[in-house]
Amino acid sequence: MSIDLSATRPAEADSSAGAVATHCPYCALQCAQTLTPTPGDRLPVTVSARDFPTNRGGMCQKGWSSAEVLAAADRLTTPLVRDARGADLRPATWDEALDMVASRITAIQRTHGRDAVAIFGGGGLTNEKAYALGKFARVALRTPYIDYNGRFCMSSAAAASNRAFGMDRGLGFPLADIGGADAVLIMGSNVAVTMPPLVQHLAGVRSRGGLVYVDPRRSATAALTDNGSGVHLQIVPGTDMAVLLSLLHVLIDEDLVDHEYLAARVGGFSDVRVSVSAWWPERAEQVTGIAAGALRRTARLLASASPAKGGAGAYILTGRGMEQMASGTAAVSAAINLALALGLPGREGSGYAPITGQGNGQGGREHGLKADQLPGYTSIADPARRAHVASVWGVDPEDLPGPGVPAVELLRRLGTDGGPRALLVHGSNIVVSAPNAGAVAESLRRLDLLVVADVVPSETASYADVVLPVTQWAEEDGTMTNLEGRILRRRKAVDPPGEARSELWILAELARRLGVRGFSEEPAEVFVELCRASAGGAADYSGVSYARLDAGEQIHWPCPAGDGSHPGTPRVFLDSFPTPDGRARMVCVDYQGPRDDVRGDAPVYLVTGRVLTQYQSGAQTRRVGELVRSEPEAFVELHPSLAESHRLEEGDLVELRTARGAVELRARVTDAVRPDTVFVPFHWLGSANVLTNDATDPTSGMPEFKVCAVALRPARANEGSRS
């Protein structure tokens, strides 16, 4: 497979008057952009790339075309309200819309209690908006029911990292560090498609033949291993953990672990050693489909690259392909155990990290969008942290609610007896992005009130009683936190269209109507408060300021206030781990395959993922002409032998059916997938997430998006086309 990275263009110098330095609105790579206002033109800004440590002057096609979303033909520019169920949405003034929301929230809470209102946030919101939304839930609504779509992204990696290291910061090192490694193992993250500019950081390891990529598909990232650049392990879907257990077994069996590091910095190794003793490569081969010899060679490659064996360094990077499982936390723990056995975390030039997906997936979970967390990445059940944050908010700690429930459970409870009767959605399109999407739509229909704040009329907004038009990246100030824990400035370049307003203004206005003060609509003021609230937490921003960021400082958290000169922490764990004894902790895990495994009536694996020119639920990218022309609709990839056995040809409609629902999609026949597997992207309504399993990880609440069992057959519509 050839790789087309032509959309990653070199930086373009731009010294135009009024040019604004900011960052891309899409993924967590947060490529640096320059926006130049273009008054009177169809597009309000032109976009050029800036040189920056993550993107090095490149952007993908989504970033280059991002200005198109600002000028979307159906951009929301005025509030919309629905007078009664079944009626059409109609334009309204802000006063009418917000009065309606506040009065109905008040009535619902008076009748059903404070827990009857819930909030669902998004990983694309700025730190300021994520913080304000979490504060609004706990102070203005006093409800425990808040979570966000980052639960679908990073929750398993976060849970495993917290219990192993005492902290979760995505990449605990600058992305550029991986360029010097002798080996990089990537599992379940198709980075050549999801964040193409990252690929340039793999040039060094590819030149040394050390890139190992694990994925059921022959994806664009798998192709990076061609021509001696590395190895692609094309596993049976959902068996990533078995690969990791076997690799650790080989390291132990061949005495390739870093004994000195383990003795000095790690606990739990003796138990893990016993737990992986049964995972010899020949057994793993029967589960994973990867030859025992390939597993041994991979383990030896990683060991030879490790500091203990005199190598230049090694990294283990994981993504949603292995984390979006009902055993996702255990799978990440297996990856961390492998990294610890090699002596990688907390060493310059080596490490383990999950690759954050959403633009501010990191910052969202750090500052209050998760059901169980307060700002600073601290537990809402911790009395000391409750007291600290309550003092910043000017409320009694006893008035703060306790932990809520993870996203999937929250969505299940909507409209049920004792569950939330109202939902406010900010920055998420759950009708497309949540698993078992048909059931989610039914949950929304049961609500007494659905409020959606968005920039375009998303599929979720079509169910709403009130739709609120909000600003997007080029129209607002704030901060984002990228995949490295690097805090970035988002800067306003143009005014929003029509009556669109920031969530900060909306939340302040709603809080006032609910009789609560203390909500600022100014991003700079909110950031100052956020930094105070985070002080002393794992994600301590108290030493960060707009002034420091605007002066060009590259600040990674934690950055405590001190005397105001703390440089931030680009690399974590170098001295110790933030655990009670300063040591990392290995955790024994047992292998589990997919909960919805293949069987007689569903004999094929379905795996889901992304395409290069679409992002998340597609609410933004499906409004950009050049991106739509590249991928106009959902499709299903299937192997030629599977297609032949089902009498299917290229372009045929295929009916896919799981225990949750059925869809019809056009066939793409390709040997990029295994003969026992089909692939469907999830960016469209009525595609992958109608089929996906909403079984969840018991630790993280992560749903099993990635793998399930599916039956397929030619759709009836094909019969007429061939007659």
Note the pLDDT tens digit of each residue in 698-718: 999 999 999 999 999 999 877
Q: What share of the chain in percent tops pLDDT 90? A: 92
What's the confidence (pLDDT) of residue 7? 41
Instruction: Give the total residue count for the chain.
Output: 723
Q: By CB neighbour count within 10 A (0-12 exposed, 13-18 middle, 19+ buried), where does 418 fall?
A: exposed
What's the topology of domain 604-722?
Barwin-like endoglucanases (2.40.40)
Per-residue CA distances from 245 to 72, 240, 370, 492, 607 (Å): 48, 9, 30, 48, 22
- Residue 647 has a CB neighbour count (10 Å cut-off) of 11
Tell me what pLDDT residue 212 has. 98
**Which tokens sit at 320?**
């949603």
Residue whose C-alpha is closest to residue 195's, from 313, 361, 443:
361
Burial class (CB in 10 A: 0-12, 13-18, 19+), 645: exposed
CATH of domain 80-153+360-478+495-518: 3.40.50.740
Continuous segment of H or E residues that includes residue 152? none
- C-alpha span between 453 and 468 (Å, rounded): 5
- Say whether 651 sits in a helix, a strand or coil: coil
Whole-angstrom distance, CA of residue 296 vs CA of residue 643: 34
> Average pLDDT for residues 595-601, to the nearest whole number?
96
Determine the residue type at 191.
Answer: V
Tell me what pLDDT residue 331 has.
Answer: 97
Residues linked to residue 487 through DSSP beta bridges, in sequence order: 481, 555
Domain parsing of the chain, residue ranges? 20-70, 80-153+360-478+495-518, 171-354, 604-722
Domain topology for 171-354: Dimethylsulfoxide Reductase; domain 2 (3.40.228)
What's the whole-number mean pLDDT along residues 191-216? 97
Task: Note the pLDDT tens digit of each residue in 142-185.
Answer: 999 999 998 988 899 999 999 999 999 999 999 999 999 999 99
- Assign 207 to helix, strand or coil: helix
Q: What angle do CA 593, 599, 604 make, to 5 degrees?
A: 80
Q: How far apart are CA 51 and CA 56, in angstroms?
A: 5
pLDDT on residue 396 = 97
Q: For residue 510, with 0-12 CB atoms within 10 Å meaning exposed, 13-18 middle and 19 or more buried, which class applies?
A: buried
303 or 362, which is more confident?
A: 303
C-beta contacts of 256-260 below 8 A and 24+ residues apart: 256/299, 256/300, 256/303, 256/309, 257/308, 257/341, 257/342, 257/343, 258/306, 258/307, 258/308, 258/341, 258/342, 258/343, 259/308, 260/308, 260/343
Answer for the pair 245, 286: CB distance below 8 angstroms, yes or no: no
Return the amino acid letter for 6. Answer: S
Q: How confident is the model at residue 721 (pLDDT cuts 50, 70, 90)?
A: low
Q: Are strands 486-490 and 478-481 parallel, antiparallel or unpaired?
A: antiparallel
The predicted pLDDT at position 563 comes to 83
**Tens-digit pLDDT profile for residues 11-31:** 333 445 589 999 999 999 999
The dihedral of CA 680, 682, 683, 685: what is its sign?
positive
Q: Report whether pLDDT(99) > 90.
A: yes
Q: Contact, 32 vs 55, CB < 8 A?
A: yes
d(C-alpha 234, C-alpha 379), whole Å: 39
Q: Is pLDDT at 217 greater than 50 in this prediction?
A: yes
What mean pLDDT value characterizes the chain?
94
* Positive or negative torsion for Cα 54, 56, 60, 62: positive
Provide mean pLDDT across the span 245-270. Answer: 98
CATH architecture observed for domain 20-70: Single Sheet (2.20)
In angstroms, rounded to a whole number, what is the distance separating the alpha carbons of residues 334 and 464?
Answer: 42
Predicted confidence at residue 17, as pLDDT, reads 58
Residue 548 has pLDDT above 90, yes or no: yes
Range of weakest confidence among 17-31, 88-102, 218-232, 254-268 = 17-31
Tokens found for residue 697: 């990880």
Please state the pTM of the whole predicted model: 0.95
The candidate with the shortest Cα–Cα distance to 374, out of 384, 389, 361, 364, is: 389
Dist CA 400 CA 135 (whole Å): 10
* Full DSSP string of 478-500: EEEE-TTSEEEEE---SPPSTT-
Quote the pLDDT of residue 720.
54
The pLDDT value given to residue 228:
96
pLDDT of residue 160: 96
In the block, tokens 């018991």 appear at 698
Confidence at residue 2, expressed as pLDDT on a 0 to 100 scale: 41
pLDDT > 80? residue 666 = yes
- With the C-alpha atoms ordered 490, 496, 500, 505, is the resulting torsion angle positive or negative? positive
CA 198 to CA 269: how far, in whole Å?
Answer: 33
Q: What is the pLDDT of residue 16?
A: 52
How far is the C-alpha of 254 from the C-alpha of 249, rounded, in Å?
A: 9
What's residue 359's pLDDT?
Answer: 86
Tokens of 622: 């499906």
Query: Band of the pLDDT at 10, cuts 50, 70, 90?
Result: very low
How large is the average pLDDT for residues 32-50?
95
Judged against a pLDDT cut of 80, whether residue 5 lies above it is answered with no
